[in-house]
Structure 1
Amino acid sequence: MRRRKSKQEFETSSTPLLLRGRIPMAALIQTLAVAEHLNFRHAANALGVAQSSVSTRIKLLEQDLGILLFERLPRGVRLTEAGRHFVEEVAIGIDHLNHALKTAGLRARGEHGHLRVSAYALISNGFLADLLNRYRELHPGVDIKITECRAGDAVKQVRDGYLDVAFVLGTPDIPDCHSKPIWTEQLMIALPATHPLADGERVAWADLSTETFLVRHNGTGPQLHDLILLRLTEHWPRPFIQRFDVDRLTLISMVEQGYGVTLATKATSQIRFPGVVFLPVLDEPGPVVFSAVWSPNNRAPALRDFLGLAKKASR
């Protein structure tokens, strides 16, 4: 049976490879400089240090490694085969380290990283699309990932750290999360162009009490479903609501084909659908509010900058 090495034995056996962290970075930098110039004096001048410092460090490094890196010549030096291999590997390591330092700084400043957003819908001429486009212009190094899901699922993913920010309908008071109203939009009803109400300028909820409402399973669908019930069940029979697992544009196309009517926002109404008419709901108390929800534990600079831009845009 193979005996497991003790900690002391492992450290001793691995010393030639790891050197227990004794190699200073300056020795590696000076080795790369000598390999480039093939001359101790020229390398020292390029680094702005004394030639004796370069010579001493490399000699100590060769002793630690147990190999000869440079063959000393009457004028300059020449890399040995082992030295050439060592320098190639060190150069790769230094490049990786520089990249790590650079990207760490960029991430700390919010210039690199990722931003994960849950959006109710991305309308090309809407507030959210404009906000995201502006953020991309200011932070081109940040990778933006956009998902769409039910508001409850989005909030859970914010809590669990899978999303940075979720935009939801209304002004929710959510435990363990921060939320802030960001923008508002007028509520509209989407009707087939052949609908008897389509020739008017606006409608009231009473006009819609017998309609078939189409809503989506995802996005703001569940919240709009509850809004329809809230507005109609107090004075009229329970409305007929059908749910579909489709995107927003498909739902509007279903309205165009006569499946029913649906609620939409002002931004959606600005998209051209030849067979659909959008009318404001006259007795709706006010515009619908969209809020940002995020975790107070999320200190990501990308989120910080995005929320700052969103708050500025909302003003």
Structure 2
Amino acid sequence: MRRRAIKNLCNGQPPPLLGSRIPLASLIQTLAVAEYLSFYRAAQALSTTQSSVSTRIKALEQDLGIRLFERNTRGVRLTEAGRIFVERVSAGVDQLDHAVKTAGMAASGECGRLRIGIHAMIPGSYLAELIGQYREDHPGIDVEIIEGTARKTIMQLRADRLDVAFVTGRPDLPDCHSRCIWTEPLLAALPERHPLAGRSAVTWADLAGETFLVRHAGTGPQVHDHIVLRLIGRWPAPSILRFDVGRGTLLSMIGKGFGITIVGAATSLLPTSGLVFLPVADEPEPIPFSAVWSPSSQNAALNNLLGLASEMRVSNLAP
């Protein structure tokens, strides 16, 4: 470990001062001599001259007022004071070497932390596959997941408690960057005994007058606004009921005949009973889902996630 750290830290450039007195190169050369017990072999390992090593260590001993090595015709050996000095310096050099490596890994996005805000993570969905693949590709990154509404995750992003938020739609926020990452067809979730359940698809006109169930959490607010936008002015007017329940409970309520809802296609991947999912034929376009992040972010781990998202989307679109 010490020998590898010495080679990593000694790059042949003019050495900085450690503290206010001792050049780092002098310490590295001292460790090398202690490792090899030879000025000649230490110089070879550090790609320098024996005279340079000898001169630096002699100067270090004079600065410290301590004799670190005993020299004789058979070589050198550490004094007791030298042994203690080398043990302490070696620990410091190992820590410095680790710090340099860790900083380099963080700069390339291979270690560190990535905080992700989501509306849900459904097994088999694009988002679940994206995060799963990212963790496999970058095992040194601690991935933290926070679930909440788009409003909540954007607020946390602005407060620097998240690195990225995945939200429904194409948000146009003046203080954030955003990019559409994937899309999903819009489906109507109906009880299997619903009069429309036998169709291959439904239209918004078919859904006018229905009782819609939406959640307060997750994508509930966007679902509520989308229903209002699509059915405004239609007759009979829809009824929209909001519940503070989880996604699974809401789907169970629909299966029991409490009403219907609209969902992205990923929701149909959940294990459910008593439900049918039908495409909304006159929905203009699939539902977009976007990544939102701060323009001031310097997190390389985030850049790697966004790059992987682009790769996976291209792969999914390929014939």
2:240 aligns with: 240
Judged with a 3 Å threshold, the aligned counterparts in structure 2 of structure 1 residues 259 and 76 are, in CA distance, closer, same or farther, namely: farther
Q: CA deviation at 1:206?
A: 4.0
Could you tell me how far apart the structure 2 residues matched to 1:285 and 1:100 are? 53
What is the identity percentage for the equivalent residue pairs of Structure 1 and Structure 2?
57
Aligned-residue CA RMSD (Å)? 2.5
Equivalent runs, 1:82-231 vs 2, <5 Å? 82-231=81-230
Consecutive unaligned residues in structure 1, runs of 5 or more:
1-17
2:18/2:24 contact within 8 Å kept: no
1:281 aligns with: 280
Q: CA deviation at 1:224?
A: 0.7
1:93-151 deviation digits (Å, cap 9, x = unpaired): 11111122112222222222322222222122222223223333443333322221111
Could you tell me how far apart the structure 2 residues matched to 1:103 and 1:285 are? 49
1:175-232 deviation digits (Å, cap 9, x = unpaired): 1112222221111122233334333322333443444433222221111111122223
1:68-99 deviation digits (Å, cap 9, x = unpaired): 32233452333233322221221121111112
Could you tell me how far apart the structure 2 residues matched to 1:19 and 1:284 are? 67
Judged with a 3 Å threshold, the aligned counterparts in structure 2 of structure 1 residues 249 and 73 are, in CA distance, closer, same or farther, namely: farther
Q: Which amino acid aligns with 1:127?
A: Y
Q: CA deviation at 1:26?
A: 1.4
The answer on 1:260 being equivalent to 2:236 is no
Judged with a 3 Å threshold, the aligned counterparts in structure 2 of structure 1 residues 20 and 294 are, in CA distance, closer, same or farther, namely: closer
Could you tell me how far apart the structure 2 residues matched to 1:217 and 1:85 are? 65
TM value normalised by structure 1: 0.83
2:13 aligns with: none
2:10 aligns with: none
1:300 aligns with: 299
1:121/1:148 contact within 8 Å kept: yes
TM value normalised by structure 2: 0.82
1:118/1:146 contact within 8 Å kept: yes
Could you tell me how far apart the structure 2 residues matched to 1:19 and 1:182 are? 48
Could you tell me how far apart the structure 1 residues matched to 2:221 and 2:195 are? 27
Could you tell me how far apart the structure 1 residues matched to 2:66 and 2:210 are? 86
Could you tell me how far apart the structure 1 residues matched to 2:279 and 2:145 are? 29
1:41 aligns with: 40
Q: CA deviation at 1:19?
A: 7.5
Could you tell me how far apart the structure 2 residues matched to 1:181 and 1:142 are? 24
Could you tell me how far apart the structure 1 residues matched to 2:163 and 2:43 are? 49
Q: Secondary structure at the match of 1:190?
A: strand
- Of 270-279 and 164-173, more deviation after overlay is shown by 270-279
Q: Secondary structure at the match of 1:299?
A: coil
Could you tell me how far apart the structure 2 residues matched to 1:122 and 1:253 are? 18
Q: Secondary structure at the match of 1:21?
A: coil
1:189/1:279 contact within 8 Å kept: yes
2:52 aligns with: 53
Paired residues, number: 297
Consecutive unaligned residues in structure 2, runs of 5 or more:
1-16, 315-319
Q: CA deviation at 1:28?
A: 1.1
Q: Which amino acid aligns with 1:46?
A: A
Judged with a 3 Å threshold, the aligned counterparts in structure 2 of structure 1 residues 259 and 75 are, in CA distance, closer, same or farther, namely: farther
Q: Secondary structure at the match of 1:199?
A: coil
Could you tell me how far apart the structure 2 residues matched to 1:182 and 1:19 are? 48
Could you tell me how far apart the structure 2 residues matched to 1:165 and 1:306 are? 10
Could you tell me how far apart the structure 1 residues matched to 2:258 and 2:59 are? 83
Which stretches of structure 1, 4 residues or more, deviate above 6 A after TM superposition? none
Could you tell me how far apart the structure 1 residues matched to 2:295 and 2:133 are? 24
Could you tell me how far apart the structure 2 residues matched to 1:42 and 1:206 are? 86
